[in-house]
Structure 1
Amino acid sequence: MSTPAGDRYDGQALDPTAVPATYQDTSPSPITTPDSDEHSAPDPEAVRDTRPPAGTSPDGIAHTKAAATWTGLVVGALVLVLLLIFILQNLDAIPVNIFVWTFELPLGVSMLLAAIAGALVMALAGGVRILQIRRAAKRK
């Protein structure tokens, strides 16, 4: 059976926030602050930093620009191989209409040209935005 807080059980008042007598520390504890002589926090000089240095992986191997370039080249080569396979599998000629001109190109080549045109439009828009940000930064 449960009793509400503050009720008496066996002649003792029940306090839900009370600490049992076996856990109470009777010795006075000094009041310390982080900048006092008796540190309440660990001494920063005594704590050893176990993190790896910046620019290294958890196993201690440094990340270099050469490694990043090599990774980029490998990924780029794989993308080019996939693109070549796509173009070779889509050699059916289709008519392409641009304004008043009409000509025939393989489907894979026409899709590649469309992707390149989209990338150029994106680069142009990004370049304009970068110039706007640079001008705003110079004014400050």
Structure 2
Amino acid sequence: MSDDAGRGSLGGSRAHGSAGPVDPTADPATDPGMRIPVPADRTTGPVALPPSGPATGTAPATGAAPATGTAPAVRHSRSGGLWVGLILSALVLLFLLVFILQNGDPVQISFFALEGVLPTGVALLLAAIAGILLVAIPGSVRILQLRRVARRQARPER
């Protein structure tokens, strides 16, 4: 049972099994019986928010945790970063599609002995992909070298 008469004890005015306040317009900032108690030894978790009504400049009623105004730190995860990367990648692809569709005029392309006609947007996209590969291939080789060195240093000497 609860010690709080307004929180659903047998003497309260709530019907059995009901959820929420009896008065739908009740505000936890003004009704201490609606506040969720916070143990004094907790340093993390939910933070009491300031009342949504007009500021009175007085301290909150007894039994309420003081409002700190800071939210608990949100931990970032790898899957969250993956989703952000996927969304940004989708936006870049959308912009590339619009670019290719708007630059559809044919252009003569010559590369060594190869010649052909491509839309301008496609030709520029292929040039950008070639530039990305020029940066990615040496970078990948360097990463593999660093991993090999790190593995050698992590192995115990025989």
TM range (shorter): 0.5 to 0.7
1:125 aligns with 2:125: no
Cα deviation 1:44-92 (Å, max 9, x = unaligned): xxxxxx9xxxxxxx64222112211111111111111111111111000
Q: What is the SS of the residue equivalent to 1:72?
A: helix
Q: 1:68 to 1:139 in 2, by over 3 A?
A: closer
Whichever of the two has the greater Rg, that structure is 1
- State TM-score, norm by structure 1: 0.53
Aligned partner (choices 81, 85, 90) of residue 94 of structure 2: 81
Provide the C-alpha distance between the structure 1 equivalents of 2:128 and 2:90, rounded to a whole number of angstroms: 17
Aligned twin of 1:110: 123
Aligned residues: 86
Provide the C-alpha distance between the structure 2 equivalents of 1:132 and 1:121, rounded to a whole number of angstroms: 18
Q: What residue identity is the alignment partner of 1:107?
A: T
Aligned partner (choices 61, 65, 82) of residue 74 of structure 2: 61
Q: CA RMSD in A?
A: 2.4
| 4+ long deviations beyond 2 Å | 130-140
Larger RCO: 1 or 2 (CA < 8 Å, sep 6+): 2
Provide the C-alpha distance between the structure 1 equivalents of 2:150 and 2:76, rounded to a whole number of angstroms: 31
Counting aligned pairs with the same residue, the percent is 49
1:137 deviation in Å? 4.5
Gaps of 5+ in 1: 1-49, 51-57
Provide the C-alpha distance between the structure 2 equivalents of 1:61 and 1:103, rounded to a whole number of angstroms: 54
- State TM-score, norm by structure 2: 0.47
Aligned twin of 1:91: 104
Gaps of 5+ in 2: 1-42, 44-70, 154-158
Q: What residue identity is the alignment partner of 2:98?
A: I
Q: Greater CA deviation, 123-132 or 90-99? A: 123-132
Aligned twin of 2:61: none
